[in-house]
Chain A
Amino acid sequence: MDFAFTEEQQFFKKIITDTVDRMVVPKAREIDEKDEFPWELWKDFTKLGYLGLRYPEEIGGMNADPVTAMIFYEQIARGSVGFAQSVIMNILMGTYFVYRFGSQAIRERCLFPAMKGEKVATMCFTEDQSGSDLSATRTTAVKDGSEWVINGTKMWITNGPVADFATVLATTDLSLGAKGLNFFLVEKGTPGFSPGQVLDKLGCRGTVTGELVFDNVRIPEENLLGAELNKGIEYLGEILDEVRVMTGAMAMGIAQAAYDEGLEYARKRIAFGKPIGNYQLIRAKFADMATEMEASRLLIYSAAWKMKERLPSRIEAAMAKMFATETCCKVVDEVTRIWGANAFANEYNPQRHFRDARFLLYGGGTHEILKDFMGRMLIGK
């Protein structure tokens, strides 16, 4: 077995780590405090070209394999998960179906500008009464002549308040449950499409998240993003594993940022005449954190490798997401204990990591749902 990154992947990791250290890390605190979309950083960072990470070189992308993509997701989240969520939305969920099913005109209007950061993309799944249970989606799409009419309200939409276009999950038939779901493209400025409430969140601040309202929004037929009607869930399967493993990679980014803060503190904080890192109970924390982070990364990168090799990875992706996120929650907690009361002060970073980690418990599927899914896959229905 070969667990090593290729020389190219090692180099990519080095470059993106340096880039994040230079551009994102210095802004992380301000992003969290302001809780506004960081337009200046967005412009500076997106002009580097990373938003085309997963798309073919022929259309200006990088054609990165899933392992390389995970390296990116992990590093950008290490810098600022608030910023990372906006970036990854443009790279993956917010543009995938536009890339996969959009006409050339749609690609030119939405995808290509989104790959350059000139347009902000989003993907709308969640509603006030449905999240991980997509079959409970209430947003409807009704065909009227050559148009689709969308009605409903979406909640918890990453980039929602600033999005230039949205891939919207809607049902053509409420009685069909998951089998009636489809993706539709709705662009800013379309009558009836408007942002609603902006959420004031515990963590991942700087990603603007909110409600999107669709009130008799009429869109042309070609805005149905799918080769066939009512196959939305099937199409979602194409990126589901990557979304889950990506969430795990982001969790490792947060965990690493917190771990590094903990390490620095343990080396320099003096108690009873010596650095606290000299005490066994503190050392034990690092042994546990490092072990679980290593295990998380093995799950993340082996799942990504399976995706790259087009091997089945559904259970592995769920495992990686769940384990890495739970590890992240443990690490950010332990780091606050290492920092003691200073972790409780807003002027230091550990409290930010502690808050940020919580969101990943729900984003990408709650662990309760994931465990149920995995159990069903392992035991049978």
Chain B
Amino acid sequence: MNILVLVKQVPDPEALVEIAASSKGLNIEPRFAVNLFDEFALEEALRIREKQGGKVKAISLGGPKAIEALRTAIAMGADEAVLIEDETLAASDGYNVALALSKAIEKETFDIVLAGRQAIDADRGEVPQMVAQFLGLPHVGVVVKLDISDGKALAESSLEGAKEVVEVALPAVFTAQKGLNEPRVPLITGVMKAMKVQIPKVAVEDLGLAKDMVAPENSKTKIVGYLPPKKRPAVQLIPGEAREAAAEAARILIDVERVI
């Protein structure tokens, strides 16, 4: 079973993020982490390999720093990794990123593509689906359970108040949701391997794409600007007995704030 895992390096969840003075971009403290949902995808890939054999290969797209995310994948147990090194493409929209990733995936022999359900930086949750579309493969999203046997997969997704079970023939693309597994802490043997490994890098041109075709200015979606969240109003204290106060709180939530 050959499994490809899409891994994105994202700002550390504790990194400071501020809207730039121009409102066109963000100033992000340079602290990085592997996208949490991609760790679930990676862990699942490793578990499938442990049961069924095969190889796990991690693929990332980004600047030179993204190599660290791939080293983490190797430390966790991935057999191989490759970086599509292109800082400007990383700033492109999901369509261009998915196009480049799908071109890289086309060069591989694989049964499964696993990715996180979304990256915790932009939170768009669109790349894996578009990768599936470019590759002409089925896609099952927000998976919390995945059983692989006889060339097909039984994938369970969480819906509101229910679960959906989908059977799909391989190869297919799956996105991992929290609850799928608990990602492992790397063993030192993996860390040592990751520290020494030479991770191959490819350029978009190597994937048969023209650099300007996937450049940010040719994105299909463009970020117009960033707005700060609405300032939280001061805490409103509701006086009175508990019963009356609760009724008043419910009234405010329903009639004034319209949140329930």
Tell whether, in the assembled complex, residue A11 and residue B71 are in contact, meaning their CB atoms are under 8 Å apart. Answer: yes
* Stretch with Cβ within 8 A of A (4 or more), from B103-111, B169-177, B192-200, B213-221: B192-200
Q: Contact at A8–B195, with CB atoms within 8 Å?
A: yes
A53 to B195, CA, bound (A): 14
With contacts A11-B68, A14-B68, A14-B72 taken as known, whether A52 is within 8 angstroms of B196 at the C-beta atoms is no
Say whether, besides A11-B68, A14-B68, A15-B72, A50 and B196 are in contact (CB < 8 Å). no
B187 & A12 in contact (Cβ 8 Å cutoff) = no
Contacts A10-B68, A14-B68 known; A49 to B195 CB distance under 8 Å?
Answer: no
Instruction: Check if A50 sits within 8 Å of B68, measured CB to CB.
Output: no
Contact assessment for B185 and A23 in the assembled complex, using a CB-CB cutoff below 8 Å: yes
The chain A residue with its CB closest to the CB of B32 is A14
**B189 at the A interface (CB under 8 A):** yes
Q: Does B188 contact A (CB under 8 A)?
A: yes
CB atoms of B195 and A11 under 8 A apart: yes
In the complex, which of the residues B67, B186, B194, B196 contacts A48, with contact meaning CB atoms closer than 8 Å?
B186
Q: Are B68 and A19 in contact (CB under 8 A)?
A: no
Within A4-33, the residues touching B (CB, 8 Å) are 7-8, 10-12, 14-15, 18-19, 22-23
Assembly CA distance A116 to B27 (angstroms): 44
- A12, A19, A48, A52: which contacts B195 (Cβ < 8 A)? A12
A50: B residues at CB distance < 8 A: 188
B48 at the interface (CB under 8 A from A): no
Task: State A144–B187 Cα separation when bound (angstroms).
Answer: 46
B207 / chain A contacts, CB cutoff of 8 Å = none
Interface flag for A62 (CB, 8 Å): yes
Q: Is B75 an interface residue (CB 8 A)?
A: yes
The smallest C-beta distance from B245 to any residue of chain A, in angstroms, reads: 25
CB-CB under 8 A from B194, the residues of chain A are 11, 15
B contacts with A, residue count (CB < 8 A): 16
Residues in A neighbouring B189, C-beta threshold 8 A: 49
Is B191 an interface residue, CB under 8 A from the partner?
yes
In chain B, what residue has the closest Cβ to A260?
Answer: B14
Hey, which chain B residues are within 8 Å of A11, CB to CB? 68, 71-72, 194-195
Please indicate the chain B residues that have their CB under 8 angstroms from the CB of A14 in the complex. Answer: 68, 72
* B191 adjacent to A12 (CB under 8 Å): yes
Q: Classify the secondary structure of A's interface with B.
A: helix
Interface residues on A, range: 10 to 19
Per the bound structure, the CA–CA distance linking A48 and B195 in Å amounts to 16
Residue from B186, B188, B191, B194 having most chain A Cβ neighbours under 10 A: B188
- Bound Cα distance from A308 to B186, whole angstroms: 26
Alpha-carbon separation in the docked complex, A77 to B220 (Å): 49
Provide the residues of chain B in CB contact with A22, threshold 8 Å.
185
List A contacts of B196 (CB < 8 A): 8
**Least CB distance, B177 to chain A, in whole angstroms:** 20
| Contact in complex: B72, A48 (CB < 8 Å) | no
Kindly list chain B residues whose C-beta atoms are within 8 Å of the C-beta of A47: 187
B187 touches A49 (CB 8 A): yes
Minimum C-beta distance from A265 to chain B (A) = 15
- Within the complex, the shortest CB–CB distance from A138 to chain B, in Å, comes to 40
B66-87 toward A: CB 8 Å interface, digit per residue (1/0)? 0110011001000000000000
A53 to B33, CA, bound (A): 24
Q: How far is the CA of A18 from the CA of B185 in the complex (A)?
A: 9
Least CB distance from B79 to A in Å reads 18
A18 to B190 CA separation, bound complex (whole angstroms): 15
User: Within the assembled complex, what's the spacing in Å between the Cα atoms of A321 and B203?
Assistant: 47
In the assembled complex, the CB of B197 is this many whole angstroms from the nearest CB of chain A, namely 10
- Does A62 contact B68, Cβ atoms closer than 8 Å? no
Closest B-chain residue to A50, C-beta based? B188
Chain A residues contacting B188 (CB-CB under 8 Å) are: 48-50, 52-53, 62
What is the CA–CA distance of A50 and B188 in the complex, to the nearest angstrom?
Answer: 6
Report how far A15 CA is from B184 CA in the complex, Å. 12
Residues of A within 8 A of B75 (CB): 15
Contact for A62 among B67, B186, B192, CB less than 8 A: B192
Min Cβ gap B73→A in Å is 12
A7→B187 CA distance, assembly (Å) = 19
Complex contacts, B67 vs chain A, CB 8 Å? 7
Contacts of A53 in B (CB 8 A): 188
In the complex, A10→B187 CA distance in Å?
17
Q: Which B residues lie within 8 Å of A15 (CB)?
A: 72, 75, 186, 191, 194
Q: Is the CB of A48 within 8 A of B185?
A: yes
The residue on A at minimum CB distance from B16 is A267
> Within the complex, what minimum Cβ distance (angstroms) separates B171 from chain A?
31
Residues of chain B lying within 8 A (CB to CB) of residue A23: 185
A151 to B196, CA, bound (A): 48
Nearest chain-B residue to A9 (Cβ)?
B195
**Which residue of A is nearest B33, CB measured?**
A18
CA distance A48 to B77 in the complex (A): 13
How many Å lie between the Cα of A36 and that of B194 in the bound state?
35
Q: Are A19 and B186 in contact (CB under 8 A)?
A: yes
Contact with B along A43-71 (1 / 0, CB 8 A): 00001111011000100001000000000
Measured in the bound complex, the distance between the Cα atoms of B191 and A84 in whole Å is 20
Q: Which 3 A-B pairs have the closest CB atoms?
A: A49-B188, A8-B195, A11-B71
Besides A48-B188, A62-B188, 6 other A-B contacts (C-beta < 8 A): A7-B67, A8-B196, A10-B68, A15-B75, A18-B33, A57-B192
A residues in contact (CB < 8 Å) with B: 7-8, 10-12, 14-15, 18-19, 22-23, 47-50, 52-53, 57, 62
Report 19 cross-chain contacts, Cβ distance below 8 Å, ordered by A residue.
A7-B67, A8-B196, A10-B68, A11-B72, A11-B194, A15-B186, A15-B194, A18-B33, A18-B185, A19-B186, A23-B185, A48-B186, A48-B187, A48-B188, A49-B187, A49-B189, A53-B188, A62-B191, A62-B192
Spell out B's residues near A (CB within 8 Å): 33, 67-68, 71-72, 75, 185-189, 191-192, 194-196
